[in-house]
Structure 1
Amino acid sequence: MEKKFSLTGYQIKLIGIILMVGDHVYEMFNYVNPPTILNMFGRIVLPIFLFMSAEGFYYTRNRLKYMSRLLIGFWGMNLGNLVIPKIFPMNEVTIINNVFGTLFLATLVMYSIEACKQKQWVKGIALVLLPLLIAIPFLVTMSSDTVSMASVYLLQVFPSYLTVEGGFLSVLLGVLFYLLREKRALQFLALLVVSVVTTGFDFSHLLSNYQWMMVFAVVPLALYNGQKGRGDKYFFYTFYPAHIYGLYILSYFYLNYWM
């Protein structure tokens, strides 16, 4: 039976983008105490894009090309996150956003799973371990007095499970969305479990530590009808960094000239 109301992948992405803009308005103008609800609704965004990246990886005709776009986006954001604050310096706001790294690692593990299914065990296991091994020099030097800049630069070139936006749990959630993609109820159960884990099992501060609100991504995802909808291959790759840097620069001028 068809759903009376449903959403295509494109429409779900649009919902994610709208919520994402609100979340980043909150982030870039935190010094004026914007409504916390913007940040709360923003918790829904990453699960949406992890879900859609699992769908995109499954349906794409060229998985390596799909992954390479995410890696290039990761490099571009790292460069922008370094250059933009140099031109428009602010102590009140720090740019740390780079979801491309999270999405890339999630798809990398998906690619590794497919390699293992084809009994390419060495390739599959090596690709899964690579992002963990990349972080070892950083972790070793972090325990000393001075963090090695070489290890920091290495993480700018290739992301690690430990340093990407959302961390290991977000990568895991994306992979679970992929593994369970034909079992929607289990996908939502995985989202629920990850949401609970983000609380640290401390349920006394749910309104101050509200990362768990990512569970409400189940609402738009439950309406997904499996259809791609309108094509937008490059829209997110350009809009995501453009709106972050646009809001940051707007915040800079507001703080320095209009406030």
Structure 2
Amino acid sequence: MTKQVSLTGYQLKILGIILMVGDHIYEMFIYAQPPTILNMFGRIVLPIFLFLSAEGFYYTRNRLKYMSRLLIGFWGMNLGNQLIPKLFPMDEVMLFNNVFGTLFLATLVMYCIEEYKQKHWLKATGLLTLPFVIALPFFIWMSTGNGSSMFIYLLQIFPTYITVEGGYAAVLLGAMFYLFREKRSLQFLSLAVVSLIATGFDFSQLLVNYQWMMVFAIIPLAFYNGQKGRGDKYFFYAFYPGHIYLLYIFSYVYLNYWM
């Protein structure tokens, strides 16, 4: 009898990390025209980590602590994204990556789902709408052009649905992964719908705007066996910003001293 192939949460995470590194190599060395396939394969990374965040949020013993780690990660990367380019300035590459904000908002919506289940209507609604309220001054400033830089700093402290990496669609996908976590087919349907939205319904540009390729995350997720696997609670929190900043610095050195 052949052994059925399955993946633990840890193995999914390692797969996501490998593809994520390839994607970020593409971003950090874009001026050298790296293979586009690195960026294409990178599209499935965010759905994998949103899926794992839904699993992690469900099983964690302390949901608020789980969320606070993501928020602290968001703050830390915002600081790093400001500091590193000042130390190693280059116009060819911009630092904007910060998936911690996306994962935090996704878990915030998950938290609100649980609060609604407990009939804590006011609390859940308040928390759910808070990112909209925070983003409002930013929209006013953008529309009038007569605002203050304090709004930009505000967004560095409080993530919003439209300013985080992946935007509202990514946050919604994470929430759907959690809401339908016992119905894998509905999780995959949610991913397919978000992938369709990502096309902008302009199917003539599928090889130019390939964000829709996130739908292929269904393949590894279909092999998830529901087991956590090896534990490494803090590895991702260190590896994610660490490898981005190292690649950025390598790119700076290559651009300024090797090209």
Structure 2 distance, partners of 1:3, 1:147, is: 61
- Name the structure 1 match of 2:231: 231
Unaligned 5+ segments in structure 2 are none
Quick check: 125-134 or 146-155, which moved more? Answer: 146-155
- Name the structure 1 match of 2:96: 96
Count of matched residue positions in the alignment of Structure 1 and Structure 2: 258
- Name the structure 1 match of 2:149: 149
- Name the structure 1 match of 2:81: 81
Shift of 1:41: 0.2
- Name the structure 2 match of 1:60: 60
CA contact (8 A) 1:138 1:148 kept: no
- Per-residue CA deviation, residues 177-223 of structure 1 (Å, 9 max, x unaligned), is 00000000110010001000000111001001000000000011000
Shift of 1:39: 0.1
Structure 2 distance, partners of 1:39, 1:126, is: 37
User: % of aligned pairs identical?
Assistant: 74
TM-score (structure 1 length as normaliser): 0.98
- Aligned partner of residue 224 in structure 1, secondary structure: coil
- Per-residue CA deviation, residues 3-48 of structure 1 (Å, 9 max, x unaligned), is 7010000000000000000000000000000000000000000000
CA contact (8 A) 1:97 1:165 kept: yes
Structure 2 distance, partners of 1:145, 1:217, is: 40
CA contact (8 A) 1:75 1:157 kept: yes
- Name the structure 2 match of 1:46: 46
Unaligned 5+ segments in structure 1 are none
Q: After TM superposition, where is structure 1 displaced by more than 6 Å over at least 4 residues in a row?
A: none
- Name the structure 2 match of 1:220: 220
Structure 2 distance, partners of 1:152, 1:83, is: 16
Structure 1 distance, partners of 2:201, 2:111, is: 32
- Per-residue CA deviation, residues 116-164 of structure 1 (Å, 9 max, x unaligned), is 1111111000000001111000100111224421111111101000100
Structure 1 distance, partners of 2:29, 2:55, is: 33
- Name the structure 1 match of 2:136: 136
CA contact (8 A) 1:135 1:155 kept: yes
Matched residue type, 1:63: R
Q: Does 2:198 match 1:198?
A: yes
CA contact (8 A) 1:28 1:247 kept: yes
Matched residue type, 1:236: F
- Name the structure 1 match of 2:11: 11
- Name the structure 2 match of 1:161: 161
Shift of 1:81: 0.2
- Aligned partner of residue 204 in structure 2, secondary structure: coil
Structure 2 distance, partners of 1:138, 1:194, is: 25
TM-score (structure 2 length as normaliser): 0.98
Q: CA RMSD in A?
A: 1.0
Structure 1 distance, partners of 2:104, 2:157, is: 12
Structure 1 distance, partners of 2:17, 2:142, is: 35
Structure 2 distance, partners of 1:145, 1:167, is: 22
- Name the structure 1 match of 2:20: 20
Matched residue type, 1:117: K
- Name the structure 1 match of 2:176: 176
The structure-2 alpha-carbon separation of the partners of 1:85 and 1:31, relative to structure 1 and needing over 3 Å to count, comes to same
- Per-residue CA deviation, residues 69-124 of structure 1 (Å, 9 max, x unaligned), is 00000000000000000000000000000000000000001001111111111100
